[in-house]
Structure 1
Amino acid sequence: MVYQLNAVKQQKGGQTILKAIDLKIPEQQILAILGPSGSGKTSLLNILARIDQPSSGSFTSSQAKQPKGVMVFQDYRLFPHLTVWQNIIFGLKVQHISKAERQQRAEQMMATMEISELAQRYPDELSGGQQQRVALARALVLKPALLLLDEPFSSLDEGLRLEMLDFIKQLQRQLKLTIVFVTHYKSEAYLLSNQVAILIAGQIMQVATPQQLEQRPANLAVARFLGQANFIAGRWQGDYFQAPLYTGQANFQGQLGQSTATLYMPFAGGLQLEPTAYPAFTGQVAALTWVGAYEQVTLQVAASQIKLTLPVAAVALHQSYQFYFTTLPVVF
């Protein structure tokens, strides 16, 4: 089933929250909606869940006139006075599913979520990770065609967050789920999803793979939000970018007629020591910080300092090196 948002706008209290959102949700995949706080992510999910209606535009699918996703909320929203078992079967009772089928579906889902031993516990007797699994089980037992996850890992520590990200990916493959997952953490979006939609100030700025986002952000707003990059101020004249750090050809993504411009250089993947057709500059290594398999390198280039990520021991402190762009650099 293919889902489509068509020119969806949302206005409340005189404020425009979503601005003409056009978005296709791929079937049986995980689509991440990534954006800063206040960008409209939860408002968009509420429309997908039919908790709210857009001011204009439509949410449609190839099979249902009124498609509706099932939401797993950021705070889980488990009923504190009900056991895990009672929480999981609650939605099935609302749907008037027979007792025998409720029993069968709930037992199967609890086994899938590896929480069968928690059946008679109450939410306040569970860890954060266990509560997360119960909330997912309560949603998935309804057999949703579209599962919506609203910042589901924000309250978990880093180790448990990574564990749950892997678990969600396994569930998606096993159950062939279509999932929309919203977050303001780039690492979560990249780890969980092959397609990421960037939502900034109520607008979808770009939909792409993580690699495409890092290498070719659609505009300067996307590039600055993604971070982990150097932004070099200069000028665009003719077909060249001009700045003390670098003067040369670039892939110009700015507006025609602008004179000031910004060179985008991501920390990772933008520069290398191996020669390419795109020489960048010579820089002296001013600092090295070990970050596992890589080192965070600070270079002194003319009067500027820039950062990049290189394999451990690729460069030595206080030594100078010629660097090359991996591809034609981008200027906004």
Structure 2
Amino acid sequence: MTRLFSTLIGHSLLAAGVAVVSSALTATQAQAIQFGFSNITHNNAMNEATGESQLFVDVTDASGGETLSATQVLFKFSNIGTQLSSITQLYWDDSSVLKNIISITDSGSGVSFSEANKGNLPGGNTVKFSEDFVVDANQPTSQMGVNPGEWVSILFNLDPGKTLSNVFSDLTSGALRLGFHVQAFGNEGSEAFVNNPVAIAPKPTPTPVPTPTPTPVPTPVPTPVPTPGGTTGVDYSNGGSGVDYSNGGDTDGDTGGNTGGNTGGNTGGTKEVPEPNTMSAILLTGLVTWGFGKSRKGIKK
């Protein structure tokens, strides 16, 4: 009784927050709005915990989006978990928003549901649940129900003048409630659940962080190294004063300072070698001078 009283009080308090929830839904129209469930039968604590932790419903428009002006609503019931359990019966307690069921789709060959005649949600009388629409799993019931990793979707037309926005408002106020019967728990027990009136906030899509563009590091330009040049050679070995300037020191380098310029200056400078014609002229001049001297001596005698 304490748990039931808390649930009813919670529904009343949440009615005041409908406008706030509607604003949040408008800001997240691209994402499904999800609701969890609370146990109402309390047959087994372990089964109760399993159902509340892995059974959910997503409420969207027909295409899976959140167009608040849509005139159809899709309820997708999912068993998200690993613990044995099977959703076998679905119930809607509706005041004025749902018109009729259009279609039933599911996750595969292991799931099969059909619209059923009016039935009673087990334990529904404890929360004043009045069934307006019922969908049952086909035989064999537990095998064709929504087991771990499976889902079933029910598409409704809405009453004239009603939109998806009205569906969300009624879910959060308690005017529209969803319930289901769950069987085939690991201990073979069964439980019943009713949706929580507060939607589970969708996880925001993370904003991608741009990859920083690395700053190019300039390639260092090598500093040119000067090529070492020749050093002017000065020969002091024989006391000569000849300096060889390669192309410009004829007096000291070739004539007056042969020893220092041409011989001793090879280390630092460039040795000057007379051209062949110059050598011939020097030899010829010497011979002529020598012959002339000899002939003068003979005349004197």
Task: Give the TM-score category using the shorter length.
Answer: under 0.3
- TM-score normalized by structure 1? 0.19
Hey, which of these two has a bigger chunk of helix by percent? Answer: 2
Task: Specify which structure has the bigger relative contact order, considering alpha-carbon pairs within 8 angstroms and separated by 6 or more residues.
Answer: 2
Hey, which of these two has a bigger chunk of strand by percent? Answer: 1
- TM-score normalized by structure 2? 0.20
